[in-house]
Amino acid sequence: MTRHFRTDDDLTSAEQHRVLSRALELKVDRFASTALAGPESVAVIFDKPTLRTQVSFATGIAEMGGYPLVLDGRLAGIGRRESVADVARVIGRQVRAIVWRTFAQADLEEMADVAQVPVINALTDQLHPCQGLADLVTVAEHTGGLAADGPALAGRSLAYVGDGSNNMAHTYLLAGAVAGMDVRIGTPPAFQPEARILARAEQIARGSGGSVSVHTDPVAAVRGVDAVATDTWVSMGQEDQADQREAPFRRYQLNADLLAAASPSAIVLHCLPAYRGKEITADVLESEASVVWQEAENRLHVQKAVLEFLVGEA
Ligand code: NVA
């Protein structure tokens, strides 16, 4: 059966543990995986802006012996010029895997249903699972590594403050629950996570020994945690609402006062791009606690591990 990485919980706790461990190995030996030798092509398609995702997938695929076929989704017009299903059938016959950044999660899932090759979610409006894995591996590097057995980050805690309804909030809920973490979202009442995702994260957490919670008080969310994360208040596709999306979130800014409520050894995560003075202050982003550049690099290592896993399972 073809395996995909459409949602964070497409990997079980044991599989996520395996992928994160492999990412740490590939970080030490960049050329240890030859899973795409041939070179086999991987289509990497962007319907939204990108920097880290394009660089890390293109670099990673090449390092694995493959060929990164980077496509501008606007030229292909997927779902407009041609249906998602037709595109899936055309590309799926030629490449080894498909990586897609797009808007609707349903479109990504349709691509996976129809293409006969692994499909990887490189960000949708709903989820950003590759970033989730990069963040987990970064937390592991700073909190004593991965658990010897069981969920990868059992007992570690992470708070996300900001837009609780966006892709990063959803990804932290699901990926953190799979990893057995204590995940806390600090967000205004009007920006709660999707109920279906929260319920799914609660269900996963019951099995992994983790926990998830949503707070309207940002200090309550952050209190004592090992990692504090935030993200832009204006996600890609919401640019025309930028003005209205500032006031509700001001209280949730990741600044030195809020960070002081976390563990004294807490790390700061941000998927980037960061808007200094909005969701995070410049001093926090540039502080000793901030590991955002390491986190960005870890995209490379985890995505290679995911590709190797999916290609190996297929
Ligand atoms: N929530 C952000 C994440 C960027 C990597 C967005 O979707 O624009």
Provide the 10 A C-beta neighbour count for residue 162: 27
Cβ of residue 166 lying under 6 Å from some atom of ligand 1: yes
DSSP-derived letter for residue 1 is: -
- CA of residue 259 relative to chain centroid, distance: 22
Q: Which atom of ligand 1 is nearest to the CA of 53?
A: 5
- Residue 314 has a pLDDT of 55
**Mutational pocket test of ligand 1: of 123, 163, 303, the residue with most ligand atoms within 8 Å of the beta carbon:** 123
- Bridge partners for 288 per DSSP: none
- Measured distance between the N- and C-terminal CA atoms of the chain, rounded to whole angstroms: 6
Per-residue pLDDT of the chain (314 residues; tens, 9 = 90+): 899 999 999 999 999 999 999 999 999 999 999 999 999 999 999 999 999 999 999 999 999 999 999 999 999 999 999 999 999 999 999 999 999 999 999 999 999 999 999 999 999 999 999 999 999 999 999 999 999 989 999 999 999 999 999 999 999 999 999 999 999 999 999 999 999 999 999 999 999 999 999 999 999 999 999 999 999 999 999 999 999 999 999 999 999 999 999 999 999 999 999 999 999 999 999 999 999 999 999 999 999 999 999 999 75
Cβ of residue 167 lying under 6 Å from some atom of ligand 1: yes
Provide the 10 A C-beta neighbour count for residue 147: 17
Which pairs from 286-291 meet CB under 8 Å and 24+ separation?
Answer: 287/256, 287/259, 289/259, 291/138, 291/142, 291/267
Q: Which atom of ligand 1 is nearest to the CA of 234?
A: 8
How many whole angstroms from 167 Cα to the centroid of ligand 1? 7
Instruction: Report cis status (omega within 30 of 0) of the bond before 193.
Output: no
- Contact indicator for 152, 13 with CB cutoff of 8 Å: yes
**72 three-state secondary structure:** strand
Task: Please give the Cα distance from 245 to 256 (Å, whole number).
Answer: 22
The residue contributing the CA closest to ligand 1 atom 6 is 235
Active site residues: 101, 128, 131, 231, 271, 299
Number of continuous H segments (helices) and E segments (strands) in the chain = 12, 9
Q: Which atom of ligand 1 is nearest to the CA of 167?
A: 1
- Residue 158 has a pLDDT of 98
The residue contributing the CA closest to ligand 1 atom 7 is 235
Task: Please give the Cα distance from 128 to 102 (Å, whole number).
Answer: 11
> Among 128, 183, 194, which Cα is nearest to 151's?
183
Cβ of residue 236 lying under 6 Å from some atom of ligand 1: yes
- Contact indicator for 17, 152 with CB cutoff of 8 Å: yes
- Contact indicator for 304, 65 with CB cutoff of 8 Å: no
Provide the 10 A C-beta neighbour count for residue 241: 12
Q: Where are the alpha helices (DSSP H) in the chain?
A: 13-28, 52-63, 73-76, 84-92, 105-114, 129-142, 167-178, 195-208, 218-222, 256-259, 282-285, 292-313
